[in-house]
Structure 1
Amino acid sequence: MFKRIGAWFYRKYRIIIPVTAGIIILMAIVLILKSVTLSQRADPVLAVVNGYRIRVSEFKEKTAALPEFFQSYVITNRSQFLQDLIDRELIYQKARLSRHARNQEFKRRLAELKKDILVQEYVRREILENPRIPEEEMHQYYQNQTGEFVQPASIHLYEILVSERATAENVVRRCKEGENFEDLAQKYSQAPSAPSGGDLGFIREGKIPKHLEEVAFKLFPNQVSSPIQTEGGFYILKAGQKILSRQLDYKEAVPLIKKMLASKYGEQNYKDFLKDLRAKARIKVVGEAIEKIRF
């Protein structure tokens, strides 16, 4: 009897089962593709170099690694900096296929470089950036240096960069007539932010060139500026939400206090860390060998 019921159930539902499984798989694929699409929208492509995509995240990362003076230069000369990244990628693609990439000495140096970077990263993140500092000293530092813990004003900023004044004035006119700023940025802007509608995110005071900052922080929310002439072209700015400068409370200031006191406590933490490592390790120093080294 159970066999007959089982056979009937299989005949009735054997088509439904694989179809249902197929639908589930298809839905999963759609969700994956959707998430990939959303992530790509959040990180637009600025250039494609022989298949390699240079994205906004890489542009920002490379900019952040520069000294502050050069960061200001990049903000007003973005196209040139993007060209520098393109040239760097072209050279890398050429070099990785050359005999130099297969050279044993290069591989040895690369392994040493990876070791150095990992050691530096571990020490920085685990010891120097997270020092053990007495709570009472952090409280005392906060009370004595309250003026250091003020969050600067910031503004959600959008930009359009064009090379001709006539184009800039045309864009401003169309914005005043009600056209969408983000759509115009995607169509006309030559800045790396163009694919994301000119969205620069929140910009703090002191982080963009003075002549742009003075205009940006005077704008009302949703107000569009007149064209601003720079060496890199004509900028049009649009203001979003503004956040006023304010005093940070102690809890908010703790990460900053740790950074400020890191040099004082980081060195001692590093010494304690090494002392503990050495105590747990098996180390044998061959003294006479080091004396035989010739330079």
Structure 2
Amino acid sequence: MRGRIVLPGVFVGLCLTLACGTDDGVLAKVGDGTVSVTAFQDHLVAVTGEAWQGATDRVASRLLDQFIDQEVVVAAAGGGDEVEVPTEPGARSARVRLLLEGICGSPPAPSDEAVEVEIGNARKAPQPARAHVRQMLLDSQEAAQAARRQLDEGADFVELSKRVSRAPNADSGGELGFLTQGGLSENLDDVIFGLQAGEISEPVRGPSGYHIFQVLEVLPAGPRPREEIAPEVRRRLFEIAAREHSAACVKQLATEVGVKVIRDRLWFRYEGRYTEDIHAS
């Protein structure tokens, strides 16, 4: 009987692919606790919705960093024996955020000066005209013309839309919200932005049938109003500050609890932030 030769590299590759014995191993040490291979593999599956073997090096590295960051916060809060943390990714993240806020406090609010600078920058970019629009969508030109005659005779646009329109938003009276000039096919765009507030179009053919549009409000092209931009700017700056605050806090906590990734337990090329051991201070 002929002997078979198994090349070490092939064997190792198969083991990493098939997880030969790795599920029982320790992937990382965080403070006095450990991260098991199984726990991280389960996290990969829960986050990506795919088999953990299929995660790319980049995705696996990013999610391992995220998982270790969370374990750092748990360790700083007292450890897994004292702090209960769910395994479902969304619930886990929410719980860790609360723990992190309890340790590091809330992120600083953006300064009024920073908000004003960003508002000024945003207003420099010209914005196309916008129109608040309702629609009806009908199958034929005859049906559209009949609906238009009813509107001329005083029918309410919303109620008529609910009765005769086959648009997906018919139940809301054809509400489309604000549309931006240049965002539709040219013929529809010309019709809508050729109307004044309160006016109703004649039937116009579109890709899905015949439309009738009602324009409720027109916002001319130009800088967006300050009162519209300000809440968005403040929210965006707060989110940036929160991310930076959290990242700095986790980095400090990692130096306090210590982190060691056991590289030879990884089945992917790790490209993350914990490539070097962090010794507890």
TM-score where L is the length of structure 1: 0.46
Compare the two structures and name the one with the higher helix fraction. Answer: 1
TM-score where L is the length of structure 2: 0.48
